[in-house]
Structure 1
């Protein structure tokens, strides 16, 4: 007898009846954890110590996800979200928790993940460094706003992506963005809506630098002269550095007009005051968004590595020299390696601008075979500042490098824990672990770990 496949209904997405659950802790993504009929239930928006009314929205064999309906007994750490867009915007996910409680949760989650995933020794009090913390609000010096043209109203919306969605939440302010940038959102949106070619506007990048405020507008087509004049007038009124970026990534500066033909655009820069360093960067390329926390990280990296004259220090994933240049100031010879060619060139120029001739920069794919790289060899100390994917491939060359100390700057505890296993297997021990609260009001956990080669 022939059998025919018949698709079964997806029961895992069906809503349950309302349940009352006790939330006991948070997971590493900031969701509340409860138990129901032997399953772990994740409840976004719920806090430990709360009794919550929920509906199950997704069920798997060993866990379920639930939608928060109501909180019967709020936890002492619960606060009213500061932002009116919080319930829709996907940028922040812990505004309902007071700042100190956020830090306590992140510290506990960091230690727990490293211990579990790296099978390392327990993190004791002597190994826990003081957390690097700063202001909980208006700390972001950079943000990228998405745009959407409503086809019916022909109105251009400016905002952030909704959580787990491509939909855009239109905003008129952002309390984690630097105040001058937040104040710019509403007038900028109004200005963009006056353009004839507003359908050609892509994302908008806002940056607060030490040499002014920068607005970079991505355009898919050339704008008419009338739109150029309108945007230039807006930039002049608000004293902005205004640039357009085309599909090829080419930047054109509209305001202020450049007097030198040798200068393509005005680059934003920031200072590392404690080290008397100036770092320029190109809009669109990576830069740490929290300036105060970045300064704290640089200071701690220098303290932990303790660079000495004559030492050779390798900085992998070096960017535009954020750590390399301050380390070179301490008279050590520094080698910086980065995977983005444009950032390598900028790092070289930053070294020239800071009168540093004891730092050398190279371009290399740090996830590839590095055996033929001229810079790969024995070093005294190593600094790693990788993206979320971590530095696993680079650490396969530890035996060739043999650094006495390794400072790992991490934006992902999971990849840090995995990479810690490699270091521990190669004879290193964890000497210091410290939380870096780079992104208050979010679940994101950044950290710094010092590894030392066991004698």
Structure 2
């Protein structure tokens, strides 16, 4: 008899019977950790101290992942999520944990990861700095809202991406977004649906800056004049700086109207260094979303580096000058390097606007061979603020730079821990470690570490 191939079921994806597990801790991604049959089991949504009914959804050799079915006995740190969109939206994942417990978890996870993954000695308690914290709600000064046009209903949906999905969760408020921006979401959605060319709208970027509120609409084709008039009226009513951005990245200011074609588009900016430094940025430029925490973080970095007049300080992954410009205010000679050319140009303009002549900006791929770069050489101090991938490649040039102090600002404790091992192997020691609570209600951990060259 002929036999036909029948694919074997994927055992790693098979659902298990329901289990009752004790959650002992959180991992650095915010998932609960339990033990079952010699394996670590990760349970998103569960908290330490809880007993939970779960179902295994993925099995690996040394660990498994489980879906949370219900909480049998809640932890004292469990609270009701503040946001009505919490379960569906992919933006926050720790709203079910009280704020103080979130911070304690993040501090512990940060120190543990650095110790475990960098082969460092356990970080002494006196080296752990007081966390930089502020209000845990309405802290985001910037958000990008996705749009989807439903051809069947002829309606534009506005919201955030669902957790682990490309689907849009329509929202009418966001309690971690700056209150004026959160209050703008519903009227904005209503008004965008009045446009004739609403099917041509891409994402919407909302920003609270020190010079006003901004909305940038991404458009895939030129909007008719009737739509432009409608948008201008909406922006005037809500006192909103409204810009359009085409697929090439070109910006057109809709409101306030420019008096001539030669006038420049109004860009958002934020203030640093006791309001003595103005840092402008364009849509798409990276800026820290938590303005209050960013100011405190910059001040702490400068305090830890102790810049002195005449010193040469290198700022790698400098962006539009978030650290470089305030450092230059301290009379040090600052060399700043960034991998995104457009941000380098903006940083140069920011230096001009702030009349700072002791800072130089360069464009370079910081993951590539830097040996021919004119700016690479002996420096006094180094500041690093890389993306999630970290700064491993850049740190291979430590012997050539020989900084006495290194301040490393990180948004990923795993890459920070890996890069710490490079610094430790080159004779540096950890002098301070601090949590920067940039993203309350989420598992994301921002951190700052001071390294000093051993004697």
TM-score range, shorter chain: over 0.9
Matched, 1:93 2:88: no
Alignment partner, residue 250 of structure 2: 250
Alignment partner, residue 335 of structure 2: 335
Correspondence 1:53-452 to 2 at 5 A = 53-274=53-274, 276-452=276-452
Deviation at 1:232, TM superposition (A): 1.0
Separation (CA, whole Å) in 2 of partners of 1:3 and 1:209: 68
Deviation at 1:353, TM superposition (A): 1.1
Deviation at 1:151, TM superposition (A): 2.4
Q: Is the 8 A contact 1:136 1:176 kept in 2?
A: yes
Deviation at 1:8, TM superposition (A): 1.0
Separation (CA, whole Å) in 1 of partners of 2:110 and 2:209: 31
Q: Is the 8 A contact 2:273 2:326 kept in 1?
A: no
Deviation at 1:14, TM superposition (A): 2.6
Where has structure 1 moved over 4 Å in runs of 4 or more?
2-5
Q: Is the 8 A contact 1:275 1:329 kept in 2?
A: no
Q: Is the 8 A contact 1:140 1:290 kept in 2?
A: yes
State the SS of the aligned residue for 1:274: coil
Deviation at 1:52, TM superposition (A): 0.6
Q: Is the 8 A contact 2:273 2:299 kept in 1?
A: no
Separation (CA, whole Å) in 1 of partners of 2:136 and 2:117: 29
Distance 1:377 1:5, change over 3 A: farther
Deviation at 1:58, TM superposition (A): 1.7
Separation (CA, whole Å) in 2 of partners of 1:408 and 1:114: 13
State the SS of the aligned residue for 1:448: strand
Distance 1:263 1:319, change over 3 A: farther
Deviation at 1:275, TM superposition (A): 6.0
Deviations 1:260-306 (A, max 9, x none): 53333100000014261110111111001001110111111111100
Distance 1:393 1:4, change over 3 A: farther
Name the Cα RMSD after superposition.
1.4
Q: Is the 8 A contact 1:315 1:336 kept in 2?
A: yes
Q: Is the 8 A contact 1:311 1:332 kept in 2?
A: yes
Separation (CA, whole Å) in 1 of partners of 2:217 and 2:264: 16
Separation (CA, whole Å) in 2 of partners of 1:399 and 1:11: 50
Separation (CA, whole Å) in 2 of partners of 1:17 and 1:419: 41
Separation (CA, whole Å) in 2 of partners of 1:64 and 1:358: 54
Separation (CA, whole Å) in 1 of partners of 2:222 and 2:61: 53
Deviations 1:398-428 (A, max 9, x none): 1110000000000000110111011111110
Separation (CA, whole Å) in 2 of partners of 1:250 and 1:153: 31
Separation (CA, whole Å) in 2 of partners of 1:220 and 1:260: 25
Q: Is the 8 A contact 1:339 1:364 kept in 2?
A: yes
Deviation at 1:11, TM superposition (A): 2.8
Separation (CA, whole Å) in 2 of partners of 1:150 and 1:348: 43
Separation (CA, whole Å) in 2 of partners of 1:3 and 1:437: 60
Distance 1:424 1:227, change over 3 A: same
Deviations 1:29-81 (A, max 9, x none): 10111112222111111000001111112222222211111111110000000
Separation (CA, whole Å) in 1 of partners of 2:441 and 2:312: 39
Separation (CA, whole Å) in 1 of partners of 2:355 and 2:248: 33
Distance 1:3 1:377, change over 3 A: farther
Deviation at 1:4, TM superposition (A): 7.0
Separation (CA, whole Å) in 2 of partners of 1:349 and 1:204: 26
- Which range is displaced more, 305-314 or 346-355? 346-355
- Which range is displaced more, 328-337 or 144-153? 144-153
Q: Is the 8 A contact 1:275 1:326 kept in 2?
A: no
- Which range is displaced more, 55-64 or 385-394? 55-64
Query: Number of matched residues?
Result: 455
Deviation at 1:196, TM superposition (A): 1.0
Separation (CA, whole Å) in 1 of partners of 2:209 and 2:45: 34
Separation (CA, whole Å) in 2 of partners of 1:371 and 1:75: 54
- Which range is displaced more, 363-372 or 9-18? 9-18
- Which range is displaced more, 16-25 or 397-406? 16-25
Q: Is the 8 A contact 1:133 1:437 kept in 2?
A: yes
TM score, norm. by length of structure 2: 0.98
TM score, norm. by length of structure 1: 0.98
